[in-house]
Amino acid sequence: MDKGKLAQLLEGSQVPNTEQVKAVTAELQKNFYTQPESLLALVEISLTHGDAGVRQLASVQALRLIPKFWEKTAQDQRQLARNHLLEGVLKESSAGVRHSLARLIAGIVSADMENGEGEEFLKHLLPLTNNDNVVAREVGSFLLYAILEEDPTHFADHTHELLKLFQARIEDPQSKEVRINIVRAIGAILMIVEPEEDPESLKAMQNFVPSLVNILKATVEAEDEESYKIVFEVFHSFIAYDSSLLALHLRDLLTFMIELGGNVNAEEDARSQALAFLIQCVRYRRMKIQGMKDMAAELMVKAMHIVTELDADDDEEDMSPARTAISLIDTLSNELPPRQAIVPLLEQFPHFATNNDPKFRMAAMLALGNAAEGAPDFISTQLQPLLPTIISLLEDSETQVRHASLVGLIHLAEEMADEMSSHHEQIIASVLKNLEAASQGVSDKKNVSIIRCACGALDTFGDGIDTKIMAQYGPNLIGPMVRLLDHEDFGVKAAAASAIGAIASSMEKGFEPYFKDVMSSLGKFVSIKEGEESLDLRSSTCDSLGRIAMAVGSESFQPYVMDLMSASEEALGLDNPRLKETSFILWSNLSKVYHEQFDHFLPGVFKGLFSSLELEEEEIELPGVDASQLGDGAIVVGGKRVKVKAPETQDDITIATGGDEDWDDIEDLEDLGAVTAVALEQEIALDVLGDVISNSCNSSNLETYVEQTIEKVSPFTEHTYEGCRKTAISTLWRTYARVFQVWEEGAGVKWEAGLPPKHTPPTSLISMGQALEKATMTIWSDDSERLVYPIVISVSANMMNTLRYTQLTQTQNAVAEKTSNLLLIHGTVTSCFLHSGLESLLIVK
């Protein structure tokens, strides 16, 4: 192999010329990286080349070739390579190259261990960590971390020896780098520690916690962001494994983290990370925290104090300590019993709400609003005495307090608008005052935000406000809302459009006198598409018009249907997820307004919904992954097939060909297992599909679309996202109910209670019912509690009408099984689920 040519090509890949890099990469892949000799050639270049960048690139690429060619390399050459690499890494002056060489050695050790070799080489590596020379310890400790990170399972027999090494070096007095490398190594070895089987290792890991805290303190005080981020990551790793690892020091650790989160002298990022760690602890150690007297209350109250730091100009997307504290409040409310988390908040609320410092008054409403999302049922029972204070805060003299109060009010209204009915009139009046004041003031960022929040409050309250109250306030609200449609800020226009829909929904027929003028004002936004802001406004308009149609009825709305449906079908191709979703929701509303008269639009509606359900791939940019090396250019993460884009930028190409030692591709994949935008869109499409079939499909339509519907919806009962699973089951039940209803009407029969059944439906209908019954029973018995409860709540209403349609499968044993499942679920349902109506549904069945 021509080593000089290989080195020359590596040099060529370093130039800032995308086309040249592509050509060089292609030649390397074709003529060099396919040959076993290239591995040792790259090792030599990584140790001898004069350019540090080339040395690093060679070592990274050599690591990638280890699985392919190391075993094919002669034994004597392998031993020489090991020795030269160990000597070279100790002599290397560049930290980046040193780390790359260490990772290359780690890859070799891992490959050797896989083949039952490597023990001899380890004897030379491990003592480096205790070397008298600081640089040797730094190299040795990073090597130790890199080897464990590569695959810790190879070292299960060395656990005690490694833990002793860690203990000796975790507080190295001469080198911060050694201390941080040991911290990383502790995080890497967690995977192979078995607390129940190995109490000695458990004790050692527990004893590391105080040292980790000391290192974290020191790095935070030194404002060493890179280092304290590593320590936080290791603490997160502790949470991911056995709870006993942190059990001994958990209370002290929680106290330390909340104190750090509230320390205004520390860097904001360190404070936010401390609070983020607490959020994870509350989620995954909630039973431990429940057992700690007053701990939940301490976390809640101190989080409320941190919220007082929220600056009026803070970016909502910026996770400052104050905004992270709001997330902590939300998590505490969601995960812990109300008596531990919500009661302390409610005890503090009057003190915060009447504090002379407006920041405390602001924090009061933000905390209450976010807690309402986590514990709506408990807070709703405590809300009445708080309402006068809430109204007072809505009318506070300070702008920032009024703004925060509107934000908090929106959260409260989303969860418990009905429970606020006794004060709806005063609340609407207060919202209107804020709207008028902000509209008449200077059009600055704060006033614009207040206008949007006031509109948001009206939007959220709309459907829950008594028609008589809205009849009183609606006429006074419509005028300002229509005027806001001419505001210069697109966000204000969109918020006003949404609010108009809510007002119409609440006023019902009382909205008709204003209908034509409002339609004239909103009509100009139905087809706009000049930029994302325009599309967002179009989306809000689309949603609003659907609600207006529901309010005024089919006859009044008829002149606008054709143009609106045409615009909604066009919207599907405009690459705006929210517009697509609101178009679906519009179809749902119009199907409820026009029922079988909606028949004319069904071909376009089903085409759009089916297209959404057929979306299987997302194409993403993934730095460091070359799509050309992935076969069909896709990977599977979290059960979803994700298409990877080819590298486009210079950085992407460099990383993909092995030029960025710091990029950690595994971490970049972590978020792909979360809920995707496609899954959220499909959840809405599934729900709307059920609405359209239930409301608008006659016998002919069902013959055309039911088979396709079942074929496309059924796979979603096993989707990774629980929202899709829940909605798919519900839609299948609704489809079945509609089919059975149409069969009954056509056959001229009426269902009668009792077994055996009086009338026999077609075989195809029986098969459909049996398949649906089986899918539902599987979820009831197998799925997690967090999914079972929502499914029971959402599906039981459908089952009350449709379970009778599965009558041919209802043997006495089958009925007993269903009853047993329902009673089992019912027995574990908490009071919050009883409030949502589940109890009555179960009793009725």
CA dihedral of 299, 305, 306, 308, whole degrees rounded to 10? 150
Mean pLDDT across the stretch 645-653?
A: 53
For the chain, give the mean pLDDT. 84
Q: What is the pLDDT of residues 380-390, one digit of tens each?
A: 999 999 999 99
Mean pLDDT across the stretch 167-190?
A: 94
CA terminus-to-terminus distance, the chain: 78
Q: How far apart are CA 159 and CA 188, in angstroms?
A: 12
What pLDDT is attached to residue 779? Answer: 67
Q: What string of DSSP letters covers 754-778?
A: SSS-SS---HHHHHHHHHHHHHHHH
Tell me the pLDDT band of 625, cut-offs 50, 70 and 90. Answer: low
Q: What percent of the chain has pLDDT over 90?
A: 54
How many CA atoms are closer than 13 Å to the CA of 736, on its beta-carbon side?
A: 30
Residue 228 contacts residue 220 (beta carbons within 8 Å): yes
Cα 697 to the center of its chain, rounded Å: 35
Q: What is the pLDDT of residues 611-622, one digit of tens each?
A: 999 987 555 555
pLDDT over threshold 60, residue 809: no
Q: How far apart are CA 463 and CA 320, in angstroms?
A: 34
> Angle at Cα 367 formed by Cα 363 and Cα 370, nearest 5°?
140
Q: What string of DSSP letters covers 530-592?
A: SSHHHHHHHHHHHHHHHHHHHHH-HHHHHHHHHHHHHHHHHHTTS--HHHHHHHHHHHHHHHH
Q: How far apart are CA 182 and CA 205, in angstroms?
A: 12
Q: What is the pLDDT of residues 674-696, one digit of tens each?
A: 568 888 999 999 999 999 999 99
Q: Locate the domains of the chain by residue range.
A: 1-117, 155-248, 249-310+322-416, 423-552, 624-660, 697-844
Mean pLDDT across the stretch 337-358?
A: 96
pLDDT over threshold 80, residue 778: no
Most confident of 89-93, 591-595, 743-747: 591-595
pLDDT over threshold 50, residue 832: no
What are the residues whose beta carbons fall under 8 Å from the beta carbon of 774, sequence distance 6 or more? none
pLDDT over threshold 60, residue 654: no
What pLDDT is attached to residue 466? Answer: 73
Q: How far apart are CA 766 and CA 764, in angstroms?
A: 5
Mean pLDDT across the stretch 812-821?
A: 56
pLDDT over threshold 70, residue 805: no
Residue 289 contacts residue 281 (beta carbons within 8 Å): yes
Q: What is the pLDDT of residues 393-415, one digit of tens each?
A: 999 999 999 999 999 999 998 88
pLDDT over threshold 50, residue 218: yes
Write down the architecture of domain 423-552 according to CATH.
Alpha Horseshoe (1.25)
Mean pLDDT across the stretch 303-310?
A: 96
Tell me the pLDDT band of 352, cut-offs 50, 70 and 90. Answer: very high
Most confident of 504-508, 663-667, 779-783: 504-508
Mean pLDDT across the stretch 105-113?
A: 90
**Is the model more confident about 319 or about 595?**
595
What are the residues whose beta carbons fall under 8 Å from the beta carbon of 258, sequence distance 6 or more? 274, 275, 278, 298, 299, 302, 303
What pLDDT is attached to residue 416? Answer: 86
Q: What is the pLDDT of residues 163-174, one digit of tens each?
A: 999 999 999 999
Task: Select the CATH number that applies to the domain covering 249-310+322-416 from these four: 3.40.50.2000, 3.30.470.10, 1.25.10.10, 3.30.1490.270.
Answer: 1.25.10.10
Q: What is the pLDDT of residues 308-344, one digit of tens each?
A: 999 876 666 678 999 999 999 999 999 999 999 999 9
Of 308-322, 745-759, 813-827, which range is least confident?
Answer: 813-827
> What element of type H or E holds 702?
helix 699-713
pLDDT over threshold 50, residue 833: no
User: Is the torsion defined by CA of 713, 718, 724, 727 positive or negative?
Assistant: positive
**Is the model more confident about 784 or about 644?**
644
What pLDDT is attached to residue 780? Answer: 62
Tell me the pLDDT band of 658, cut-offs 50, 70 and 90. Answer: very low
Q: How far apart are CA 415 and CA 333, in angstroms?
A: 14
Mean pLDDT across the stretch 183-187?
A: 95
Residue type, 131: N
Residue 99 contacts residue 142 (beta carbons within 8 Å): yes
Do the domains at 249-310+322-416 and 423-552 have one common CATH topology?
A: yes
